[in-house]
Amino acid sequence: MRAFPFLLLFGSWLALPVQAADAQDWLGRLAKAEEQSFHGTFVYERNGSFSTHAIWHRAEAGGGVRERLLQLDGPAQEVLRVDGRPQCVSGALTDQLSEVQWPARALAPEQLAKRYELRVLGRSRVAGRAAVVLALKPRDQHRYAVELHLDEETAVPLRSLLLSEKGQLLERFQFIELDTVGSVADEQLQPSAACKAVSFGKADELSAQAWRAAWLPPGFELQQALRRRSPASAEPVACLMYDDGLARFSVFLEPLRGAAVEDARSQLGPTAVVSRRMATADGDVMVTVVGEIPLGTAERVALSMQALQPPTTGAVAQ
């Protein structure tokens, strides 16, 4: 795993404070990058493994976005998304929707500035295009540093690096070619026959009073609470989704009904997974925290989960 010179990258953080405002301006432009149609090829690196992907991204006249990604080496994995929601997937992605996706999404500069130090590091050149380099350095140990190389013309992210507190590279997205001028045709957004339609089923809104985290990393807020059936059983699984405006993690809570399972913890690149058994008035529940946060942070969240009332075990919409 490659180690970045962290002190070199962030050592002169306090110099030129006016650049914080410049960084917020660029993040504001990034928030509008999805309105730009483009197509190209990028590489994805995680945990020492590389893959190459084609992407076709089209901003629709009515304000929506259609996007198709296709892995070009190894398994021909494919995903089609409309307004960020997968419509079909293929290959290994059929069973798990943890697909690679280009990290372009709306960010709130004012919110991020509370938890990250923002700075323009300078300029670079990626895929033959001039770029502005932004750094987002966390103000605590509960999130990762991010380095973004934004296209000077469109603010589309040309390169995105996720770095640990030691400056180690956890994840990299990088365009090797990009076209922001040519149109994206209907046929380029047409998935192959191997791309199978996604059926999410229906999810119930979960009462905010059912579960709570007694501890959360500063700045993370509950964005959504749902209950849906487990794909492996008929049990209802509660899902709580949190983010800080940039980083995200989810907490899953599934009744065990006497099943023998062991606590577990693992880290794959930037993604931490922590599972622990928790006793409740309605029986044991498996708590699983999954997200791009440090492993210690995920463990602390998992240990803090509390059942405020017995989980509802009645019928769940399908």
Q: What kind of fold does domain 6-197 have according to CATH?
A: outer membrane lipoprotein receptor (LolB), chain A (2.50.20)
User: What confidence score (pLDDT) does residue 308 get?
Assistant: 80
Between 105 and 223, name the one with better pLDDT: 223
CA distance 288 to 251: 6
For CA atoms 186, 188, 190, 193, give the dihedral sign.
Answer: positive
Asked if pLDDT for residue 315 goes beyond 50, the answer is no
Contact between 274 and 243 under an 8 Å Cβ cutoff? The reply is no
Selection from 56, 51, 62 nearest residue 81 by Cα: 56
Residue type, 50: F
Mean pLDDT on 175-190 = 96
CA distance 188 to 30: 24
Residue type, 237: V
Between 48 and 241, name the one with better pLDDT: 241
**Residue in this structure with the two tokens 């400056």, named with its chain if needed:** 167
pTM of the predicted protein model:
0.83
Domain covering 204-307 in this structure, CATH number? 3.30.200.100
User: What confidence score (pLDDT) does residue 232 get?
Assistant: 61
B/e letters for 205-237, b = 16+ CB within 10 Å, e = fewer, are ebeeebbebeebbebbeeeebebbbeeeeebbb
User: What confidence score (pLDDT) does residue 229 get?
Assistant: 72
Between 255 and 202, name the one with better pLDDT: 255
What DSSP state is assigned to residue 168? B
Beta bridge partners of 59: 65
Mean pLDDT on 208-235 = 82
Lowest mean pLDDT among 85-89, 177-181, 235-239: 235-239
**Residue in this structure with the two tokens 């690096």, named with its chain if needed:** 161
Mean pLDDT on 273-280 = 95
Asked if pLDDT for residue 299 goes beyond 80, the answer is yes
DSSP strand pairing (248-255 vs 236-243) = antiparallel
Q: Domain limits of the chain?
A: 6-197, 204-307
